[in-house]
Each structure stands twice: as C-alpha cells, then as structure tokens.
Structure 1
Amino acid sequence: MDFDGILFFPVTPFDAQVRVDTDVLEQHLSGSLAHAPGGVFPACGTGEFHALSATEVATVVRTAIAAVGGRVPVVAGAGGPLGHALEVARSAADAGADALLVLPPYLVSGPQPGLVAYVEAIAEASPLPVVVYHRGTAQYSVDAVRRLAANPKVVGFKDGVGDIGTAQLIVRAVAETGRHDLAFFNGLLTAELTQAAYRGIGIPLYSSAAFAMAPEIANAYYRAYVDGDEDRRLELLDGFYTPLVRLRDETPGFGVSLVKAGLRLGGLPVGGVRPPLVDPTPAQEEQLAAILEAGRALVSTIAVAEPALP
C-alpha cells in the first residue's frame, strides 16, 4: 500500500446532543482532502476511537470512504476489546476501507504471543490488510514484529512509543525477513517534532494531527521536510510546532482536544471531546489561536518568498 503525503487523522465531530455529526464530518474531510493528504485514517486516535461504539465507528468509516471517493487509501481503526475490534474490522471491510490500523487492546497487557495473536485475530476477521500500532498496552518486541511480518496481511508498523533504538531494530529485523513492502510510520503525538530522527532510521512516513486543523501549515512543514530545506523546516518547528507541543503537554489528551478546538476556531462546528478527555479552557483556546495565527503568518511569508507549486 502506497502513501504519498501526510497521513491525515480526522476528528469525529459531535452535534449538540453529542451524536456523531456526519454532515460536519463530510465538510471536515472535503476541506482537508483539498490539501492532498497521502491517506485518511478515520475513527482512530484523533477520531476518538476509544469513545465510539461499534455502530458509530462504522458510521464514521462509511462517511469517510464516501467523501474520499477512492482518491487516497482509507485506513480504519480497529482495536480495544477483541469482540469490538472484530466487529469494526468486518464493518470497515463491508464499507470498502483499504486497510485497518490495529489499535491497542483494552486495559490488559498481554505477553508477546498474546499480542501477536490479537493482531492475527483482527487480520483474520476481514479480508483487509492491517497496520500494527505499537503503543500503550500493545508494545511489540523485535521478535514479535518479525513474526508478524511473516503474515502477508500485515502491511505496516506505526510507532507510538518513541524508543528510537527499538524502532531501528524493528526496521532492520523486517528488512532481514525480505519484506520490503511493509510501510513504517512515526505515530508519536505531534510527530513533526521527532520526524527528522525517524527518517534517519528508515521510517519516512508520519501521521499529523496538525494537518486536521491547519493543513496549510502541516503541508508547508512537509514540503520543507521532503525537500531537505532545514532552514524552513526549523522556522516552522520553532514558530509553530514547539509552542503547540508546549500547550499540548499542559493537559493529558490535548493531542485530540486542541485539534478540535482549532477546527472550532476556524469556524467548523465539530463539537467538543467525549470523556475522559476534556476541552481546553478559554485561556488555552486563546493561546491556541495565537499559535495558529503565528503558524499561518509563517506560511504566508514562505508563500510570498517562493514561487507557487505547480
């Protein structure tokens, strides 16, 4: 599976009764698709998978597939309690998704053979290929990933732990198996802050929560990253991503909450987050507005200084 561009993780909008708002979700997707993401990952971490029922996940995935219309791959979330994971895996296949992102199981931490069996059970539940998400209660050893790489339905590995040494060993172990088609992603929060290091160990792709609320800023960073323009990349890193991360780290769960707040500030009524996450305070929203304004000002300066892309 090929991904050419930033990996877009949309939010799940809720209406005034905290129900999934498919009309606003369509607007969110359509607006972001205009900025050419490399893939769309609905009902995953940024989409509050943890707070959605299986029926709601199916609704979100179905809405996303219709909005994308085959332009880029759609990778749906599947995880949590095994029964829930199997149900959403099947519904994603029925809706026409291209693959599944296997999120961690709920609460318990099993041994490595159990984690492998968890991924294999989800892979067997539908005809879809799967991307393994390495984080939380699902932290895979090098040997476990080597075993998973023997399964042709496992087509990707997303690192959300941040142990560069282990990630490097996993990349090399997969290469030793002869699998050169397995995609590697940096899935850390605000991945732009760490992607330069990840590229150095053979993980060129990354997910961008910032793309969901400010695609023009995320794309400016991505162009600098791809082009090797370190001056421009560091300008955006220092002027936008570093203060964004500082604000994000004030409250657990703000990796999602701030994205929704940013969309609301931009006029898209995506609603708030569901518990146990919390929304930013008015003062924190003011800080976010200032950070977004500074980031967009940097992008505007870059656009004036450079010729437009074809």
Structure 2
Amino acid sequence: MRVSLDRDTVRRLREGMAHGVLSFPLTSFHADGSLDPDGFRAHAAAQIATAPGAVFPACGTGEFFSLDEDEYRQVVTIAVEEAAGRLPVVAGIGYGWAQAARFARIAEDAGADALLVLPHYLVAAPQDGLVAQLEHIAARTRLPLIAYQRGQVAFTAASLRRIAAIPTVIGLKDGHSDLDRLQRLTLAAPEGFLFFNGAATAEIQARSYAAVGVPAYSSAVHAFAPEIANAFFTALKADEGGGSGGGGDGTVEKLLRDFYVPLVELRDRVPGYAVSLVKAAARLRGRPVGPVRAPLTDPSGDDLADLKTLLTAGLDLVGAAL
C-alpha cells in the first residue's frame, strides 16, 4: 500500500496538544463485564465537552488489551461520532503487527484520524525489529501513526530517525521518563515530529518533560476530574517562563503536593491501579464506566475510601464538587 501523510491531521494534533491535555477515555462495562456502549457514549461525550487537545479511545486507560474486535469497533465508532470532527480521534492498536493491522483497518473504517501503536505483546525485541514492526503496520493503513515507547519498547536515536523516515509515522509517546534518552530522541527527530509525555501520571513530570522540549502530555486524571486536569494545565502554562514556582499563583505546587503526589502513592499500592483507580474515581463522580475487566481488579474498600478523600481534596482545590 502506498500512502501519503495526512498533514491536516498532524496540524490538528499539534494545535490540540498546544491548547489542552490529551484525553484517554475509559471503556464502559456493565457489572457482568460486557461492553456498555451507552455508558461509553455518555462518558466520551462528557470528556469531549471539556475541549481536550485530542481524544484517544481504546488505549491503555481504555483497556484496549481486554477488547475483542467487535467491541473495539463500537468504542472507536462512538468516539468518532461524539467528536464529530471537533477534535482529532486517535485510536489505540497493538499486539504483533498482523493483529495491529487488523485493528488499524477497523479504526480506519470507523473514521479515526490517527493511531497510537501500543507496545507489542510479551517479547523483548532488537531495534531492527521495533522499526520493522512500525514499517509493517504503516504499509497496511493510510492513517498516521504515533509510536508508544514503554515497557519492552525503547527506541535509540538511530531508530528514531528510521521510524521518523516512515512517511506516516508522525510522533512518539514516551512512557519511560528517561529524560536523558528522551532528549537524545528529540534532538534526533526531524522538524515537526510530535512528542508527548505519556508517563502514568504525566502531570508529576510535566515540567521535566517540558524542559527537554516535550510540553504536551496525556492525563489520566482528565478521565475522572477534567476540572483538576484543566486547572493544572492552565496553571502550568501560566508558570511558563518563570522557573519553578515563578510567574504563577502556586496552583501547580498545591495540586502536585496535595493531589497528584498522594494519587501516585495510592496508585503504587497495587499493580494495575493506574487504570483501576481512574475508573473507580470516575464511578465516585457518577460516571457510567462500570468495573475493570480481569486481569485488573477494582480497588479494595480501604483504598476506595482513601481515593474518595483524595478526590474530594483535589476538587476542593479547584473549586469543583464531587
């Protein structure tokens, strides 16, 4: 397949990343674990109404790894319908390249604007293999691709140059938080290549990422408290150019100290809480997202109580209600 780059999508993503956080909506399930399309539609609509920079359905926070192809089709289709062209829709794809290409075709048919290539399944791979994975996917879809380095996927500067030479690979999401490596990648990338901070709780490291030229970030908090996520983003922008704590009103420090850092400490209690806590917090606010699917587990009673206390404190800081 010969494809050319959709430059309008790149432009829209760049503009969106500059003016707001990136939204990764949760996938709604019924109590029995079956997909809840109506719940997801309501959640996606609420997320999009807060004007994020872009919406990324069926990615890590959206439990891509637990969706079958029909469920994936429904989720991406609903996100595209609710976005209605107002902001880019970037769907997650993953596993080996053959399966990733199947999901890519579904997302393309559903009207997605671009794809986030999640880390491949299970095996460690050499740099040549990581590059070939993207080459195979790019040869099978016309949609722009954003590579996600996390877990067993970590590109060298030389490999970054190779994937950036693939016409439809437009950017990189980083989840390693290795700022030395990331700086080398940003310097190796061609002009206009997109980067964004994809750490588990990206706000914690937002300043550090911005210092190496990566100010855009995804926000799991946006999935349950867009008021907090947007207040942090606005305060961070106000602080730009003034150094740590300079030029702003201290909102960034207050939110980091009293909300984000305690949230990370709570998240680190149990594997998988990076998704489970987000979904539980959304339920605390009456959002129709339902439980997580195995192998994830919902928070314990004690952890849920601590989450509610923390969420209340965070919302109080920005003047919002539970």
Deviations 1:260-294 (A, max 9, x none): 10111111231111111111011111111111100
Report whether the alignment pairs 1:65 with 2:70.
Answer: no
Secondary structure of 1:205 counterpart: coil
Report whether the alignment pairs 1:188 with 2:189.
Answer: no
Candidates 87, 94, 111, aligned match of 2:109: 94
In structure 2, distance between residues paired with 1:272 and 1:187: 23
Candidates 234, 253, 266, aligned match of 2:285: 266
Report whether the alignment pairs 1:214 with 2:225.
Answer: yes
CA apart distance, 1:35: 1.3
Contact 1:54–1:84 (CA<8 Å) still a contact in 2?
no
Deviations 1:68-110 (A, max 9, x none): 1111100000111332211100111111111000011110111
In structure 2, distance between residues paired with 1:237 and 1:71: 31
Query: Which residue identity lines up with residue 158 of structure 1 in the other structure?
Result: K
Query: Which residue identity lines up with residue 65 of structure 2 in the other structure?
Result: H
Aligned pairs for 1:163-178 (under 5 A) are 163-174=178-189
Which TM-score applies when normalising by structure 2? Answer: 0.90
Cα root mean square deviation, aligned: 1.3
Contact 2:25–2:223 (CA<8 Å) still a contact in 1?
yes
Candidates 210, 217, 239, aligned match of 2:258: 239
In structure 2, distance between residues paired with 1:81 and 1:282: 37
Which TM-score applies when normalising by structure 1? Answer: 0.93
Residue of structure 1 equivalent to 2:302: 283
CA apart distance, 1:33: 1.6
In structure 1, distance between residues paired with 2:53 and 2:165: 26
Report whether the alignment pairs 1:255 with 2:266.
Answer: no
Contact 1:134–1:160 (CA<8 Å) still a contact in 2?
yes
Deviations 1:11-34 (A, max 9, x none): 111012311111011111111222
Report whether the alignment pairs 1:116 with 2:131.
Answer: yes
- The runs of 5 or more residues in structure 1 that have no matched partner are 302-310
- The runs of 5 or more residues in structure 2 that have no matched partner are 1-9, 240-247
Residue of structure 1 equivalent to 2:4: none
CA apart distance, 1:184: 0.5
Secondary structure of 1:133 counterpart: strand
Query: Which residue identity lines up with residue 156 of structure 2 in the other structure?
Result: S
CA apart distance, 1:230: 6.3
Report whether the alignment pairs 1:299 with 2:310.
Answer: no
Query: Which residue identity lines up with residue 127 of structure 1 in the other structure?
Result: R
In structure 2, distance between residues paired with 1:112 and 1:227: 39
In structure 2, distance between residues paired with 1:55 and 1:32: 23
Secondary structure of 1:76 counterpart: strand
